[in-house]
Structure 1
Amino acid sequence: MKKIIPAVMAVLACAGVCAQDMGKLLATGGVSQVEGAGGGGITPWALITSYGSRDSWGANAHYTYVGTQDYKLNAYGVAVGIQDRLELSLARQQFEGSLAPLDKLDIKQDILGLKYKVLGDAVYEQDSWVPQVAVGILYKRNKGIRGLEALGVTNVKQLGAKDDHGYDYYVSATKIYLEYSLLLNATLRATRANQMGILGFGGDKNDSTRLMPEVSAAYLINRKLAIGAEYRRKPHNLSVDEEKAYYDAFLAWFPTRNFSVTAAYANLGDITIFNPKKQKGLYLSLQAGF
């Protein structure tokens, strides 16, 4: 940490003086993960968001929609990548119910993210087996529950959560094999979050921080089109939430460096015991940047 903090300060100082470019290869900026970080749809990668090179910076904005049988999630935010080393992100999630008894449910959450590349280069170090590695932190604050006032529920703590705010810490390793048009990523996340924090942090079943694995794979069909899949393990902390792993299969289109579209089939598992069925549906994300 003593070495990382001065490095972060130096990278931030560059933001005011470095020229902006779009020097990275198409698609290597990733897309915007549903919590705002650069990567896949449901898990962060070690890649730094945007197309700014190591002597530059870049930024993007995103909107993501996830719709299942009983719920929908809207997420939007902005992110900045500096010197292909540091990433800052800010996102808001809005989770809503569409089926009784939770058809009035409305939960918002704000997420502030920081990611720092510590070693490797996924693109330029093709002759090395060492992946690009980054560490990250996500601070999440739940904004309370609306629509359940008739039941006397206005806060996630009333559902059994221990806190309405918390941190996720993660380390990601990403390796790109240009010869095979293949990207592989593994992430290990330390978390207490229930459904990413939408249902708070910790609970009546468990309140300790747990290490959860996440994996991604993507294949570049051509320069502008990629297919892939992701898996994300999550803790089960609440009695009212039979939380299961997330996974998806996605198709990402990069018509230009300024715009991308990602569509996926997502399985989010059980979300609450009030609508006890596996939640499956559409994931759609739009990203614009420079």
Structure 2
Amino acid sequence: MTAPLRIRIAATAGVLCIATSAGAQQLAEPGKLLLTNGIGSIEGAAGGGLTPWAVIAGNATRDGIGVQASATVAEFKDYDFQVAGISVGAWDRVELSYARQRFDTNWVGGALGLGNDYKFDQDIWGAKVKLAGDLVYGSEWMPAIAAGLQYKKSLDAPIVRAVGAQQSEGADLYVSATKLFLRWSLLANVTLRATKANQNGLLGFGGDKRDARTVHPEGSLAYQVSRRFAVGGEFRSKPDNLGIAREDDWFDAFAAYALNRNLTATVAYADLGSVATVKDQRGVLFQLQGSF
């Protein structure tokens, strides 16, 4: 991990610690049930690790403004992945988010002619609006429904174009429906995403096989073992635009534990399939998130 990224991760960790202080209460009086603000997804939006949910970041209800920040690290068979993200939720209705992703190719970069330990970086700015429904309250069956946009910009434009991407920046559009069924302690989420991002945008957008947005389903299912502890799994369908490297769907199994109202730790086992010509990319992801 390079020094600039260490600084960003350390800064995010500092935010996590600040979030546990009494002064954080001045911004937004906590009102949500534990874990119902989700965690920071790999793209910054509140939800699951792989996919956004129709929840708004932070602990505040419709009377306040909340913030959550997360630091995520993942170690796969041949690659490393880090994300630092922050999101702001207002009145339990609107969310704005930002994430910086770094993907370390390790030895694969040298094999591909990029140089050993070549790193792909990407900025993601997001916006989400809750359109209807509620995660917990209201109708037993009516979910919360939200629509969002994620604008992604690769910081490696010459490289992603060299591997066949048509653009180095682009936008994903999505709609999510999420419901917590209290009687069964079960949370279900379905997301439909219109995208042409290659490997989440780290390898650019569009390619020689296809250069148009296609719609892909994503989903999460979680069981709340206790007020503080939840386990579950996620699925994310992916486009396959580049002839040089097949892209597989993503899966994970996760466990999230709320250490207190302001701090949540998550661990997941993720299977990304084939990534940048290398198969069987499986590994462990860890995230620490602070929210208030």
Name the TM-score, length of structure 2 as normaliser: 0.87
Hey, what's the Cα distance between the residues in 1 that align with 2:141 and 2:255? 27
2:284 to 263, 282, 289: 282
| Partner SS for 1:244 | coil
Hey, what's the Cα distance between the residues in 2 that align with 1:94 and 1:138? 17
Following superposition of structure 1 onto structure 2, how do residues 119-138 of structure 1 map, counting pairs within 5 Å? 119-125=132-138, 127-138=139-150
Following superposition of structure 1 onto structure 2, how do residues 60-139 of structure 1 map, counting pairs within 5 Å? 60-100=68-108, 101=111, 103-125=116-138, 127-139=139-151
Letter in 1 for 2:283: G
Instruction: Give the C-alpha shift of residue 19 in structure 1.
Output: 5.8
Instruction: Give the C-alpha shift of residue 267 in structure 1.
Output: 0.2
Does the aligned pair in 2 maintain the 1:19–1:55 contact within 8 Å?
A: no
- Tell me how many residue pairs correspond in the alignment: 262
State the identity %. 45
**Runs (5+) with no aligned partner, structure 1:** 1-17, 146-153
Following superposition of structure 1 onto structure 2, how do residues 185-224 of structure 1 map, counting pairs within 5 Å? 185-224=189-228
Does the aligned pair in 2 maintain the 1:67–1:73 contact within 8 Å?
A: yes
More helix by share: 2
Show CA shifts across 1:20-58 (max 9, x none). Answer: 211111110100000000000000000111110011111
**Runs (5+) with no aligned partner, structure 2:** 1-25
Hey, what's the Cα distance between the residues in 1 that align with 2:59 and 2:244? 42
Instruction: Give the C-alpha shift of residue 175 in structure 1.
Output: 1.0
Show CA shifts across 1:172-219 (max 9, x none). Answer: 000110111110000000000000000000000110100000010010
Hey, what's the Cα distance between the residues in 2 that align with 1:19 and 1:54? 13
Runs ≥4 residues deviating over 4 A: none
Following superposition of structure 1 onto structure 2, how do residues 248-267 of structure 1 map, counting pairs within 5 Å? 248-267=252-271
Name the TM-score, length of structure 1 as normaliser: 0.88
Does the aligned pair in 2 maintain the 1:235–1:243 contact within 8 Å?
A: yes
| Partner SS for 2:173 | strand
Does the aligned pair in 1 maintain the 2:32–2:59 contact within 8 Å?
A: yes
Instruction: Give the C-alpha shift of residue 225 in structure 1.
Output: 0.4
Instruction: Give the C-alpha shift of residue 77 in structure 1.
Output: 1.4
Hey, what's the Cα distance between the residues in 2 that align with 1:198 and 1:211? 19
Following superposition of structure 1 onto structure 2, how do residues 48-59 of structure 1 map, counting pairs within 5 Å? 48-59=56-67
Hey, what's the Cα distance between the residues in 2 that align with 1:196 and 1:282? 18
Show CA shifts across 1:241-274 (max 9, x none). Answer: 210000000000011121001100000110122x
